[in-house]
């Protein structure tokens, strides 16, 4: 059963003009699987009615601080309200957790290859924290594309959780000596795995980003492809 909880905003970090990281502390902190999402409402629920809300991926895993990280891009009416109304100390309301964008259930060995576009990094931050917590971080490969350095979310945490040989960052609108320039290609991705058939490919980003990689990986023989698109 989903947990419904009031939550307080503990900190906010801005990435570029339109992306913010919110660290929130729910009053009721319950177990959630990495890769799942919550529903965030700004008004207090009254009776059985759940107020207007939007879905956001858990961008962290269970931690001692009992907080949840959210990474939110301002694109429409509701996310503009979030940016205007949620400050440090503000309250919001959560219902969690939901979703089927989950790590492989039976396979504890084969690579987990994550392909993120922009705020699509969110569920992979929780994968990375979880895999590190069970000392399986070497299974995770991350291909992460962002516009520029300013929009690279939680880069220090990513570097702490994922081995540098497994981390492939692509900047589409900035040249930086540490990272690749341009877009991720499917060839970049498949080079990282010895068996396309056995690897697990997770893709999260916009509709075109997700469908292009899914189509290309399928054509190359990938059998385990999981997508989350917003
Ligand atoms: C499972 C799941 C997980 C998600 N996780 C995240 C997450 O971690 N982070 C995140 O940021 N989002 C996430 N989303 C998307 C989020 O739930 C909202 O749907 C999204 O942010 C739309 O925000 P909105 O309500 O402000 O837009 P709305 O006002 O409802 O607008 C809907 C759509 O209209 C378009 N639109 C409206 N206004 C504008 C504008 N001014 N400029 C350009 N386009 C516009 C956009 O395409 C927008 O998606 C997730 C969605 C799902 C289903």
Ligand 1 in reach of 47 Cβ (< 6 A): no
Same domain, 31 and 139: no
Q: Could you say which of 98, 123, 154 is where a domain stops?
A: 98
Determine the pLDDT at residue 221.
Answer: 96
Same domain, 121 and 216: yes
Same domain, 84 and 123: no
Domain range for residue 219?
112-229
Query: Which of 178, 57, 62 lies closest to 114 in space, CA to CA?
Result: 57
Contact 103, 61 (CB under 8 A): no
Determine the pLDDT at residue 154.
Answer: 93
Same domain, 62 and 15: yes
Determine the pLDDT at residue 191.
Answer: 92
Determine the pLDDT at residue 203.
Answer: 98
Q: Could you say which of 74, 98, 122 is where a domain stops?
A: 98
Same domain, 124 and 44: no
Same domain, 11 and 62: yes
How many structural domains compose the chain?
A: 2
Residue 105: inside a domain, yes or no?
no
Ligand 1 in reach of 77 Cβ (< 6 A): yes
CA of 67 from ligand 1 middle (Å) equals: 23
Block mean pLDDT (10 aa), the chain, length 230: 96 96 98 98 93 97 97 97 98 97 95 97 98 95 96 94 95 94 96 94 96 98 94
Q: Could you say which of 47, 73, 98 is where a domain stops?
A: 98
Provide, for the chain, the percentages of residues in helix, strand and coil under a 3-state DSSP scheme, each rounded to the nearest 5. Answer: 25, 35, 40
Same domain, 92 and 121: no
Ligand 1 in reach of 32 Cβ (< 6 A): no
């Amino acid at each position: 059963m989903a947990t419904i909880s009031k939550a307080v905003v503990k900190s906010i970090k801005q990435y570029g003009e339109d992306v913010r990281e919110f660290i929130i502390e729910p009053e009721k902190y319950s177990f959630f699987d990495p890769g799942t999402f919550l529903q965030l409402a700004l008004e207090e629920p009254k009776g059985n009615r759940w107020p207007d809300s939007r879905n956001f991926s858990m961008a962290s895993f269970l931690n001692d601080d009992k907080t949840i990280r959210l990474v939110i891009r301002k694109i429409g009416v509701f996310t503009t309200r979030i940016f205007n109304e949620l400050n440090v100390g503000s309250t919001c309301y959560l219902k969690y957790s939901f979703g089927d964008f989950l790590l492989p259930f039976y396979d504890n060995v084969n690579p987990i290859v994550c392909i993120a576009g922009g705020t699509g990094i969110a569920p992979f931050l929780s994968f990375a924290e979880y895999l590190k917590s069970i000392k399986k971080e070497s299974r995770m490969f991350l291909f992460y594309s962002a516009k520029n350095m300013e929009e690279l979310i939680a880069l220090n945490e990513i570097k702490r959780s994922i081995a540098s040989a497994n981390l492939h960052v692509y900047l589409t609108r900035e040249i930086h000596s540490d990272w690749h320039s341009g877009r991720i290609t499917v060839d970049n991705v498949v080079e990282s795995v010895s068996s396309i058939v056995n690897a697990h490919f997770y893709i999260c980003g916009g509709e075109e980003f997700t469908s292009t990689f899914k189509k290309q990986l399928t054509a190359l023989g990938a059998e385990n492809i999981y997508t989350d698109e917003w």
